A and B are shown apart, each in its own frame.
Chain A
């Protein structure tokens, strides 16, 4: 599967401490990502609470491939290509819906079971003795190479052969586990529609920013710094509790030491997280009734262990980030070398107080919305970078902060929270999965 020319080319683009600008700007590299990188990885599709009933579906994509996630009549979830095997028409175009017992192509009414199998063709006689059964059209809507529903989170691999789910994610699943375990019944469901924010920049810039701990106090001084200043200047009575909005925004202005001490953990295959020891989510006020519900469900010791984890951002290579402590997921959907759609989803913890959902919704609109003061400055930085990278004479993007020689990305590591090792870890994985995923 490995292409020697591609390997030589990638070796020229990815150095241990630097990445060539073409990786972010070249349409050819983007095309190769669509052809190799995304199909060889396990990519997030959606949450099974989005399709609670038989026949419920959502549309999604891996790389540039249009997909449908659907609940079949045996309650199992299937991920199929969103393409009629007859003439190529997309079967559904809405973001979510219910198709009933079968999909019906709107062009010629070929119909398919919700597991993709061909159900019926109008005027079927016309195909007798034409050899239809030997064509791919006869097999119905094609499934993806592999799929896995992990505690409600559905991932798929397009390539028919490749790395298994457990091997791809390994111990990094501890972050997803922690997010789900925060529900007293171990179950999340999607709360409302996602924010959808369009960025004119390469998708990898967004993923890298999730573990970049040297930018918040600089890029977000205008919002978080101003918030802290206004709050301090306000004439408020002694003992006034800090409002949730301040709890959310003020930690963005934490000093470098805070981020250094929080730590970064990297796992094999490009996964990693900030906030090993503490994070910007550590000091949120308790929500009445929640700890009691957790103690009841898990016992005090285990409950304390679950709630004591305050991981900041966990990146699942290639293109999602989750925040366990506030049950949130961001999906960075590449639409072109310089175009990325960011979907920011929030989840409700089943069996827990609704105030937790309210805090998460507040976080989402304050930080991740196209109308958010924080998101505006992030977008500005990415787009300035996308334009700045066109400058000739400088060819490399530097990611060598706290670089050590012979870094071994096949092993878990915990380091100073301002290291750029997680970005290097991602590029190690990027190169391998571009070449088919072989270690």
Chain B
């Protein structure tokens, strides 16, 4: 893994979400990886406090299958999203792993509503024979403790 590969990966992942290629996106994940979105600023404990999301492969798969369901009422009509990325900052880089932090603005829209979230995304990445894969992703919302309306897609 080199810097360019890592940075390209982070951009490509965001593109996949924005284009709604969710099944392809799920294939980027290692089976035991977890997607975590804390509820508190600098939250350390994902298990015995509530988080906004703390989802394993099964839950992420459920999330994606549900988006395509015939009776997913809150997705009629469907939401769309858009990520704008700052240049990723590489925190650690070895031959087969990387930790990278990226500031993003995430916009999600449905009907006449649009919401903007500011994110700091931490990716833990691993090199595999099939390419780079996600070993863990933590999304810290700038306003994590605010009262939100529904956030339906994946920041």
Binding site for B on A (CB under 8 A): 191-200, 219, 221-223, 225-227, 229-231, 243, 245, 341, 344, 346, 348, 354, 357-358, 361-362, 364-366, 369-371, 373, 375-377, 379-381
Contact = CB atoms under 8 A, between A and B. Distances in A.
B147 A197 contact: yes
B40 interface: yes
A376 B59 contact: no
A223 B50 contact: no
B147 A365 contact: no
Interface stretch (B3-11, B15-23, B64-72, B84-92): B64-72
**For chain B, which range describes its interface: under 10, 10 to 19, 20 to 34, or 35 or more residues?**
20 to 34
Given A222-B72, A376-B152, A377-B74, A361 B66 contact: no
A361 B148 contact: no
Contact of A197 (B37, B54, B148): B148
Contacts of B147: 196-198, 341
B39 A192 contact: yes
Contacts of B62: 223, 226-227, 230, 373
A225 B73 CA distance: 13
B116 interface: no
A70 B103 CA distance: 39
Interface string B34-73: 0001011000010111111110101101110110010111
Contacts of B150: 370-371, 375-376, 379-380
A358 B47 contact: yes
18 contacts: A192-B45, A192-B50, A193-B39, A193-B49, A199-B149, A222-B71, A223-B62, A346-B50, A358-B47, A361-B50, A361-B51, A365-B51, A369-B52, A370-B150, A371-B37, A371-B148, A376-B75, A377-B74
B145 interface: yes
Contact of B66 (A223, A243, A375): A223
Q: Nearest 7 pairs between A and B by C-beta?
A: A192-B49, A196-B147, A370-B148, A380-B74, A222-B72, A376-B74, A357-B48
A222 B66 contact: yes
A364 B61 CA distance: 19
Contacts of B50: 191-195, 344, 346, 361, 364-365, 369
